[in-house]
Amino acid sequence: MPMTITEKILAAHAGRETVSPGELIQVEVDLALANDITAPPAINVFHELGAPEVFDNEKIAIVPDHFVPNKDIESAQQVKLSREFAKKHRIKHFFELGETGIEHVILPEKGLISPGDLVIGADSHTCTYGALGAFSTGVGSTDLGAIMATGNTWVKVPATIKLVYEGNLRPWTGGKDLILYTLSLLGVSGGVYHALEFTGEVIKQLSMAQRFTMANMAVETGAKNGIFEPDDITKAYMKGRSDRQGNLLLSDPEARYDQEIKIVVDDLEPQVALPHSPDNVKPISEVGSVSLDQVFLGSCTNGRLDDLRDAAGLLEGEKVAKEIRFIVIPGSPSIYKAAIKEGIIETLLEAGAVIGPPCCGPCLGGHMGILAEGERTLSTSNRNFVGRMGHPKSEIYLASPVVAAASAVMGHIASPEEL
């Protein structure tokens, strides 16, 4: 029976020849993930189950990344509980301050995920790893606590929406613009419990950083997962990161899809999501004059080296507008170090940016950039719901790193062409 890449991965992890959309199956988990917010309740569930040991101390990752360095007593207690649990159960992949970064950046970077893997995380943006050709999805902490004890979980096989991107990208457009435009088509409920399979000639040319960006925001359509077929770009990314080659699966030509949507990108401008929903998207030429108080470059969506490099390329010799707070947070220590070596950090600092330690920072209104009443920010992150980054009467606009850089200089939402 022909299957999609998502169905093939699920079948393999269920020990079956085939699976079909709608089936409820039990699957073995290759990696279970939690962060400093979601790990403590998952640990409580683990203890309630009475499990003496975790199912595999090399297949669990705990990444303190939301409120680190600890911003208050409560966040310090959360990390302490997670640290002590990791020590007790000899969990190999606990990342202490100094080696930690944003979970969805550092796990692929460190080679903990390979094509064909099945990854379950207590964070909705676990779907990021679909960029590598893995099935990855988020669950609640209760489910994750059970997975830490048993190593398996139940999954309903999702139907797949095939998204085919055709044409040629214009200058200044990339993965963030593709996924924002896709959100404008599907809406925040158009992909509910589906797999989004990103395909087409345009996709084959995207860097891994741009693929991570697109897979990261699949969940904003309500999707169960987003996924790319692994190719030579995937193989090049994996080289030297892991001794596991993974399972390089492709969808069968005769595979059945719930929908197939063709998207022609030739005329696609940089896209901007306006408050208060990631599907409230307009091309930048239709946004109008929107003044800003803050610009944030970072997050699990756009905190990678390519993102910082693209922004710095625009900011060379420029200065951030006096009324703008420009906050830049590299996604991992290795990205931070590479950005220093390349002179990217110096360029950003010379322009007037503030550089934060690798973490989620202001993305979820955690710390290091909370918005006050009435303030507006342009962010490279993934969500712009009411109160997401601070005061409920603040406003969040979402865009790409190059739009963020241009906007920081201009003081309002601006296309890179304005520079």
Mean pLDDT computed over 146-164: 98
Average pLDDT (142-160) is 98
DSSP label at residue 244: -
In tens, the pLDDT along 288-332 reads 999 999 999 999 999 999 999 999 999 999 999 999 999 999 999
pLDDT of residue 75: 95
Q: What pLDDT, on the 0 to 100 scale, is given for residue 243? A: 85
CB atoms within 10 A of CB 388: 21
- Average model confidence (pLDDT) for the chain? 97
Distance CA 304, CA 207 (A): 11
DSSP states along 150-212: HSEEEEEPPEEEEEEEES-PPTT--HHHHHHHHHHHH-TTTTTTEEEEEESHHHHT--HHHHH
Reported as a pLDDT band with limits 50, 70 and 90, residue 279 is very high
User: What percentage of residues in the chain have a pLDDT greater than 90?
Assistant: 98
pLDDT in tens, 90-115: 999 999 999 999 999 999 999 999 99
Q: What is the reported pLDDT for 410?
A: 97
Average pLDDT, stretch 49-61?
Answer: 97
Q: Is 19 left (phi over 0), alpha (psi -120 to 50) or beta?
A: beta
Q: Domain coordinates of the chain in residue numbers?
A: 5-263, 271-414
Dihedral sign computed on CA atoms, order 38, 44, 49, 54: positive
In the predicted model, is pLDDT for residue 245 greater than 90?
no
Query: Quick one: pLDDT band at residue 403, thresholds 50, 70, 90?
Result: very high
271-414 folds as Aconitase; domain 3 (3.30.499)
Side-chain half-sphere exposure of 144, counting CA atoms within 13 A: 29
Residue 384 in contact with residue 243, Cβ under 8 Å? no
Question: What dihedral angle (degrees, nearest 10) is formed by the CA atoms of 356, 360, 361, 367?
Answer: -140
Q: Which of 180, 203, 169 is nearest to 381 (CA)?
A: 180
Question: How confident is residue 416, by pLDDT bands cut at 50, 70 and 90?
Answer: very high
The arithmetic mean of pLDDT across residues 190-205, rounded, is: 97
**pLDDT at position 29:** 98
More confident residue, 172 or 366: 172
Q: What is the pLDDT of residue 244?
A: 87
Tell me the pTM: 0.97
What is the pLDDT, as a whole number, of residue 412?
Answer: 98
Residue 235 is predicted with a pLDDT of 96
Q: What tokens were used for 400?
A: 């790409």
The 10s digit of each residue's pLDDT in 229-244 is 999 999 999 999 998 8
| Residue pLDDT, tens place only, 56-81 | 999 999 999 999 999 999 999 999 99
Q: Which two tokens stand for residue 311?
A: 């922004």
- Given this chain, do its domains 5-263 and 271-414 carry the same CATH topology? yes
CATH topology of domain 5-263: Aconitase; domain 3 (3.30.499)
Residue percentage of the chain with pLDDT more than 70: 100
State how far the Cα of 302 lies from the Cα of 176, in Å rounded to an integer: 8
pLDDT tens-digit map of 341-377: 999 999 999 999 999 999 999 999 989 999 999 999 9
Query: What average pLDDT does the segment 262-288 reach?
Result: 97
Give residue 419's pLDDT.
Answer: 84
